[in-house]
Amino acid sequence: MKPTTAKTIPSTRTDSRKPANSWRRFIPIAIGVALVASIVSALRPKPTPVEVATVATGPLTVSVLEEGKTRIRHRYIISPPVAGLLNRVELRAGAPVKAGETVLATIQPQAAGFLDPRSQAEAEARVKGADAARMQRSTQVERAKAALQLADKELVRARDLKKSGAIATKELDTAENQVNVLTRELNAAEFGLQVAEFEFAQAQAALLMQAKPSTSDKAELHRIISPVNGFVLNVFEENSRVVTAGTQIMEVGDPNDMEAEIELLSIDAVGVQPGAVVSIEHWGGGKPLRARVTVVEPGGFTKISALGVEEQRVKVRVDFIDPLPPERFLGDRYRVEARIITWHSDSVLQVPTGALFRRGSDWMTFVYEGGKARVSKVQIAHNNGTAAEVVGGLTDGQTVIVHPPDAVADGKAVKTTGR
């Protein structure tokens, strides 16, 4: 028999394992590369997120906001022309009065003797002076009426020209404001005429009572009649007592003849001029009332603030332009807030004040350029707290960083929020 020869069959198991296990040796390398990349990415500085705004041209208004109070412009102090016993005053503050009809107070004059030549001359001089004042007030009323008539005609012409586009809206507003101002001046002149006539009547009454002394122990009861239409503002003497001539009894006035008295810091009052536009806010109505500065008092006064700081204040009187709504009543010494415009321009290059910061005595800002912050020196003029007028350092259309965080520096990468 022939011996059986065993054939050797080559095994393929080893060859099949090599492709399956060859990629495993690259796992540590990949992990190392990923770790290095993550470390590099973590150490690489990231852009700081910032808010930006655009430097643009537009209207800019600078104003000062301060508290104040209303004030009846023309007030009249009632006082007796002669000495005597004042009967108890029945009227109280807020009571309506009518010129020539309402009895404000009654007084029992003292029995008068004959006047000596000097007293006679003084009494007659008071009558002549009161008569001259009455004539002067009458002339002022006529002058105010003539000025108002002319202003009414100018307003009619301005409205016709506005319809055809021949004049601007500003000129029409000026004509309307002139009519409003002259109307109030006429009311003031008429009030002064009423007061002058009352004083003339009082002077005549005093002269007659002293020129014709009473033969009885009691003189005729003297009634003090209201010189103006309006309301009783204050009562100084309520009880019955002996008073002298000129003693203040009460104060009367017309609430329709109203103005506002604003107390500004002296540093703010320097920039306020008569005729400045005013907006009366937070007075109790639905919308602000238009007004205009009439007087900036030349003298200031010291006032202690709520924090105990001494402040120099200046009173600024403001005249209402808009009439009060009929459903709202604004009385004497009511609190209001007045926004007085000190400067305005319809077209000015401006930057948000939140983009500005100080470096020494200079104003600086960060300009956003190509994803980086570039510090730039800025020259500004007028500032209203929200935007500032740019006179140098920036151009129209540039982008600036608003409220830059502490991490922002010159040349540092930044990114805008929302982009």
Quickly list DSSP for 47-110: PEEEEEEE-EEEEEEEEEEEEEEEEESSEEEE--SS-EEEPPP---TT-EE-TTT-EEEEEEEP
Burial of 332 (C-beta count, 10 Å sphere; 0-12/13-18/19+)? middle
User: Rounded CA gap, 204 and 194, in Å?
Assistant: 15
pLDDT score at 315: 94
C-alpha closest to that of 231 among 321, 98, 334: 98
**CA distances (Å), 146 to each of 141, 186, 213, in order?**
9, 10, 46
Low-confidence ranges of the chain (pLDDT < 50): 1-2, 6, 12, 14, 16, 215, 217, 419
> Which helix or strand (DSSP H or E) is residue 300 part of?
strand 289-304
pLDDT score at 367: 94
User: What are 122's two structure tokens?
Assistant: 């003084």
pLDDT score at 417: 80
pLDDT score at 107: 86
User: Rounded CA gap, 173 and 234, in Å?
Assistant: 38
pLDDT score at 193: 81
CB atoms closer than 10 angstroms to residue 1: 3
> Which helix or strand (DSSP H or E) is residue 320 part of?
strand 310-320
The answer to whether 132 and 125 are in contact (CB under 8 A) is no
Q: Write out the E strands in 79-228.
A: 84-86, 96-97, 103-109, 222-225
pLDDT score at 310: 92
pLDDT score at 12: 47
pLDDT score at 327: 79
Alpha-helix residue ranges (DSSP H) falling in 223-299: 266-269
pLDDT score at 130: 78
pLDDT score at 16: 47
